[in-house]
Amino acid sequence: MRIGIVTETYPPEINGVALTVHHLAAGLAARGHSIDLIRPRQPESHVDERGIDAFEVPGIGLPRYPGLRLGLPAGRQLRQRWLQQRPDAIYVATEGPLGWSAMRAAGQLGIPLSSGFHTRFDHYAGHYGVRLLTPLVRAYLRRFHRRAMATLVPTSTLAQELHAMGIANACLLRRAVDTKLFHPDRRDAALRASWGVDALTPVVLYVGRIAPEKNLQLAVQAFRAIQQQAPQARYVWVGEGPAHAALQAANPDFIFAGAQRGEALARHYASADLFPFPSLSETFGNVVIEAMAAGLPVVAFAQGAALEHLADGINGYAIEPGDAAAFVQAAATLAGNPALIRHMGRAAHAGVAGLSPDAVIRDFETLLRDMAEENLHEHAAIGATL
């Protein structure tokens, strides 16, 4: 099949959506499909990938969110491109102006289209000083995703939430993790030494966008409580974002490792000891299952990946959403018990060992193929009545 994938974010950008979309595109290409990738032009030149034909359109920086871009409307360009090389099906991963243009162009050309619900932008509004816009953002998301034949979500809980919002086409496409890349065996004594710690010093890890919507103050509060149990503990932060400078200035004892990719990221995970993840704004949270695969016990609120994969008290702690005191207490308890860290870490790795990336790609392929075939049958039926 020829499959169109439209996204406002894609590597070399580092975020959960970009990496998830790349995984889907690369996985489909590896199975012999031709991928028509539509994305905003970035300062860094695109790296060609086998089976993925990239078409870049103009974009602008996302206000108050450095490092991410919005694709500008490109309806005419997309119609011309898809008239010349018509996709069998299209997947729109993001809801920006480029995604809306793709929705309209696909509808005009009669190409079946699915969408992805990766980010709760309606929840983000309050973190960026525009809480009053939350109902408008939610209405836009509802209108956007209703135009798709299917809206793909990573958890059954999120599917239920979207159904309650009036998005009846939500369906489940689970996430996977590369358990060969993210593995406890990548623990690196030299990397730990560069952090100034020995084998017995607990290292707390944060991975993700360093941004207000990630509930960073609770992360800091939890670490300060951890220090009451283990004064020598260190906090390593992997990622970049708009809150980085202020966080670093307020916490000069933290170690900021910047953005990491691939094997370097895997070494950072495996070389740490525990992973408190305080975010309340995730649709999933890929970092949770990456940390688990690397053998880290996780403390997180029971939503998204944590709700799906954390067994409370077994491979980490799943905290009732919003219970900050319980989150802090669980992180401190874990950090003060090295034997428990090791036990839960082994259970965390075992708990995600069966998450197969190949199975996710096959499910995605099946959904797109079914959409394309249904579309052909509908057009054949219409033609027979004329």
Predicted confidence (pLDDT) per residue in 98-120, tens digit: 999 999 999 999 999 999 998 76
pLDDT band at residue 127 under the 50/70/90 scheme: very low
Radius of gyration of the chain (CA): 22
What pLDDT shows up at residue 207? 97
pLDDT in tens, 308-354: 999 999 999 999 999 999 999 999 999 999 999 999 999 999 999 98
Q: Are 327 and 310 in contact (CB under 8 A)?
A: no
- From the CB of residue 1, how many other CB atoms can be counted at a distance below 10 Å? 15
Average pLDDT score, the chain:
91
Structure tokens at 176: 């996977």
Q: 160: Cβ–Cβ under 8 A, 6 or more apart, which residues?
A: none
pLDDT, tens digit, for every residue of 23-61? 999 999 999 999 999 999 887 766 789 999 999 999 887
Residue 109, Ramachandran bin (φ over 0: left; ψ between -120 and 50: alpha; else beta): alpha
Is 19:239 a contact under the CB 8 Å cutoff? no
pLDDT reported for residue 383 = 54
Q: Looking at 56-65, 178-187, 278-287, which range is the least confident one?
A: 56-65
Q: What is the pLDDT of residue 71?
A: 87
Which amino acid appears at position 164 of this protein?
A
Question: Model pTM?
Answer: 0.85
Tokens at residue 30, please? 């590896």
Cα 362 to Cα 169, 174, 256, 352, 372, distances in angstroms: 20, 11, 38, 19, 15
CA distance 317 to 307: 10
Q: What per-residue confidence (pLDDT) applies to 134? A: 72
Q: What is the mean pLDDT of residues 147-167?
A: 93
121, 135 Cβ separation under 8 angstroms? no
Grade residue 181 by pLDDT with cuts at 50, 70 and 90.
very high
189 pLDDT tier (thresholds 50, 70, 90): very high
pLDDT in tens, 275-284: 999 999 888 9
Confidence of residue 375 (pLDDT cuts 50, 70, 90): confident
* Residues whose CB is less than 8 angstroms from the CB of residue 11 and which lie 6 or more positions away in sequence, other chains included: 18, 19, 22
Which one-letter DSSP state was computed for residue 132? G
Q: Is 240 in contact with 210 (CB distance < 8 Å)?
A: yes
Domains and CATH numbers, the chain: 2-176+356-385 (3.40.50.2000), 184-351 (3.40.50.2000)
Q: Among residues of the chain, what percentage have pLDDT more than 90?
A: 77
Distance CA(55)–CA(41), nearest Å, equals 9
From 105-114, 208-217, 357-366, 375-384, the region with the lowest mean pLDDT: 375-384
Residue 382 has pLDDT above 60, yes or no: no
Vertex 63, ends 141 and 250: CA angle to 5°?
Answer: 115
What is the pLDDT at residue 384? 52
pLDDT at 132 over 60: no
Give the residue, 19 or 132, on which the prediction is more confident: 19
User: Cα–Cα distances in Å, from 233 out to 228, 271, 274?
Assistant: 9, 13, 11
For residues 131-136, average pLDDT: 70
> Exposed, middle or buried, 326 (CB in 10 Å: 0-12/13-18/19+)?
middle
Q: Which residue has the tokens 């709760």?
A: 120
Predicted pLDDT at 66: 58
**Residue 360, Cβ neighbours under 10 Å: how many?**
20
* Cα separation, 364 vs 152, whole angstroms: 9
Residue indicated by tokens 């031709």: 34
Q: At what angle do helices 357-385 and 16-30 cross, to 10 degrees?
A: 70
pLDDT at res. 130 = 56
Report pLDDT for 123.
Answer: 56
Full DSSP string of 85-117: S--SEEEE---SHHHHHHHHHHHHHT--EEEE-
Torsion-angle region of residue 66: left (phi > 0), alpha (psi -120 to 50) or beta?
A: beta
At position 320, the amino acid (one-letter code) is: E
